[in-house]
Structure 1
Amino acid sequence: MSGVSLKCGDCGTLLKSVEEAQEHAELTSHSNFAESTEPVLNLVCSSCGKPCRTKTESDLHTKRTGHTEFADKTSEVTKPISLESPTPTPMDVDASGSAQSEEMVAPEVDKKLLEELEGMGFSMARATRALHCSGNSSLEGAVNWIVEHENDADIDQMPMVPASSKNDPPKPSLTEEEKKMKLLELRERARKKKEEEEKRMEREKEKERVRIGKELLEAKRMEEENERKRLIAFRKAEKEEEKRALEKVRQKLEEDKAERRRRLGLPAEDPATAAKPSPPPVEEKKLGLPIKPVTKTEQMRECLRSLKKNHKDEDARVKKAFQTLFTYAGNVVKNPEEEKYRKIRLSNQAFKDRVGGLKGGIEFLELCGFEKIEDGEYLFMPREKVDIAVLNSAGNELQSAINNPHFGVL
C-alpha cells in the first residue's frame, strides 16, 4: 500500500502533505519525517461541523463543547501522498519564465471588534485570526472561536490571504443598537442564571434545616425515652430491694419465733401448718413494719454505685469524675450567689471528658438540684433551689466514694 501521510519521527504527528510537513518543521524545528500508510483522521463533529484530525483533538472538543457525536470521514479524503514539491501553475509564470507566487497579506477585519478583543487581553494575531475565521461578524463569535481553537498550534500566528482578496468587503458587523441589545441579552441571561443558582442554594439550605430539625427532635425523643426507661428500671430495683428487705424481716421473725419456742420447751412448729396462714402485705403494716421511702441521699449513693459499676475498668477516670462532682457541689455551697458556679455547659470538652461522658454523671448533678435549660445545652441550678443540706449530703457521699476502695463493689 502506498503512503497516504507523512509521519514526524520526533513527535508522531501525521501530516497530509509536503506543505504541512514544511510548516510543521518551521514551527517545531523537527526534521525527521517518513512516509506512512496510516491515514490522517478526519472526524467531523455532527453538531457544529468542526473537523478533528486526532482522537485527542476530538476529546478536547468534547470537553469544551459537550459534543460527543463525530462522523468518521477519513476514507473520503484519504489519497496517496505526493512527495514532490508543488510546481507553479502557468498563471504564476511571468514572461521571463520564472515562477512568481502571489503576494500574501493580512486579512481585513472589523477594527472596532479587533480593538475590543485586544482590550480583552488577546494578541493582535489571535484576535485577527479569530475574526477572520468566524466570519468577521460579531465579538461573541470570535470569542467562541478562540475558546474552541485555543490549543491550535498556529492560533497566535497572523493569518495570511492573497492580496487580491484583501479588499473584499467584510461581512457587516453589528450596529451599535444591535450590540446594546446583545449586551442586554447576555446580562439578562446571566441574571436569570444567578437567580436560579440562588434559588437552588436556598432549597438546599431549607432541606438541610429540615433535616437538622428532624435529627434534633429524634434526639430529644430518644433522650426522653431513655430517661423513662431509666426511671422504670430504678423503680423496679427499688421494689426488688423492698421485697428482699421484707423477706429478711420475715426470716428473722421466724427464727425469733422458733428460738422462743425452744426456750419455753415447746415443740417445733409444723412447717406445713406454718405455711398455711401466709399473711398478705397489708398485715405487715399492721405489725408495725412500714416501708421506708428511698431518700435523695440513697438515690445519690445508688447513682454513684451505678456510675462505678458501669465503668468498673476505668478506676482512674471514675475517681476523677467523683472529685469533679465534689468540686461542683462544694463551689455552690461556698458561693451560692455566684451564677457561674451554678451553670455548666454540657458541650464543654473538659466537662464531657470528666463527667458528661460517664453514664450517671449528669444524673447525679440533677439529684443535686441542677436542671437542663436552653434545649439541654446547659445544666443550671436556680438560686431559690439551692439546698445546702442536699449538697452537703452529696459531698459526704462523694467523699465516701473517693476514700472507700470497696465502694460500689458489693
Structure 2
Amino acid sequence: MAGVSLKCGDCGTLLKSVEEAQEHAELTKHTDFSESTEAVLNLVCSTCGKPCRSKTESDLHTKRTGHTEFSDKTSETAKPITLEVPKNQSSDDVDMVDASTTGEPEEMVVPDVDLKLLEELESMGFSKERSTRALHFSGNSSLEAAANWIVEHEEDADIDQMPLVSAKSKSEPSKPSLTPEERKAKAQELKERARKKKEEEEKRMEREREKERIRIGKELLEAKRMEEENERKRIIALRKAEKEEERRAREKIRQKLEEDKAERRRKLGLPAEDPTAPKPSAPVVEEKKSSLPIRPATKSEQMRECLRSLKQSNKDDEAKVKTAFNTLLTYIKNAATKPDEEKFRKIRLTNAAFQDRVGKLEGGIKFLELCGFEKIEGGEFLFLARDKIDRAVLNSAGTELNSAINNPFFGVL
C-alpha cells in the first residue's frame, strides 16, 4: 500500500504532506521522518462539523462541548503522499501534469545538480544515476542530505534511473535557497503563528470553561432551591399532621368527657341528655367539688401513661426511648407466645442490659407490673406466674406499645 502520511520518528506525529512535515521540523527541530501507510485521522463532529485529526483531539472536543458523535472520513480524505517533491515544487510528476494540460509533449532533460557534490558521491561508490537522483530530490542542499536520501530510498525500484525534468522547468531560474537569516526569520514567523494560535485556543478554552462554570452554578442554585422547597413542604406537612393529631386528641378528650357525663347521669338515674336541646347557660357561681365517685383508670390507660412518662422523661434521646419500647414489646410478645417457657417470664432486675434499656427509665418496671409481673426473691427478679398470664392484658400492652412506636406524635400532648 502506498504511503498516505509522514510519521515523525521523534514524537510519532502523523502529517498529511511534505509541507506539514517541514513546518513541524522547523517548530520542533525533529528530523526523523518516514513514509507511513497509516492515514491521518479525519473524525468530523456530527453536531458542529469540527474535524479532529486524532482520538485525543476528539476526546478533548467531547469534553469541551459534550458532542459525542463523530463520522470517520479518514478513507475519503486519505491520499497517497509523494516524498520526492523538491522544495521548489518542481518534479517529474508536476512536469508531466503540465504537459498533459497543454496537450503537447514536453522535452525531458536531466536536471542540473551540483557537480562538486556529484563527484563526491561518485567517489563514495554510488552510481551517477543514483547520485544525480539523490542530489535532485534533496534539493542540492548538502552531501549529507543526499547520502541520507539514498539510504532512505535504496529500496525504490527507480533508484538507479536517471531523473528527468521538462526542459521548460529547467530553463526557468530555480528559486534561490533561503539564507540563514531568512530561515531564522521564517522559523520565528512560524513560532509566532503557533503562539498566536495557542493563545486563541487558550482563550476559547477559557470561554468554554467559564460557560461550564456558569452552567454548573445555575444547576447548583436550582438544586438548592429545590431542596429548600422540599424542606418547606415537609415542614408544612409535619405541622399539618401535628394539628390533625392535636384535633383528634381534643376530639377524643371531648368524647371521653361526654361518655363520663352520660355514665354519671345513668348512675344518678337521670334520663339521657338530648343533644338537640339548647343548653342552659351556666350561672356564674363558685364551683363546688362533686361528691360523685370517679371511675378509676383502666389498665390500658395506666400502661399508656407509663409509656408517656417514659418518653417525656427522655424526650431528648429518641433512640433510648425507641429501644425501651422495643425491649418491652419483646418481653410481652415472648410471654404471650411462649407461656410454658419460664425463661421468657422471668427477668433479673440487676441485669446491666435490662437496667440500661428499661430498668432505670421512669415507668419501665411499672409497665411490666401492670402486665402481671411481680417482684420475687427480695426484689431481685420480676416474674410472671404461669397461672396469672392474662392474654387480654398482654394484648392491650402490645397494642399500646405498637401505638407508641409507630405514632411519631405519641406523648407530645
Calculate the TM-score normalised by the size of structure 1: 0.36
Calculate the TM-score normalised by the size of structure 2: 0.36
* Greater gyration radius: 2
Task: Select the structure with the greater relative contact order (CA < 8 A; seq sep ≥ 6).
Answer: 2
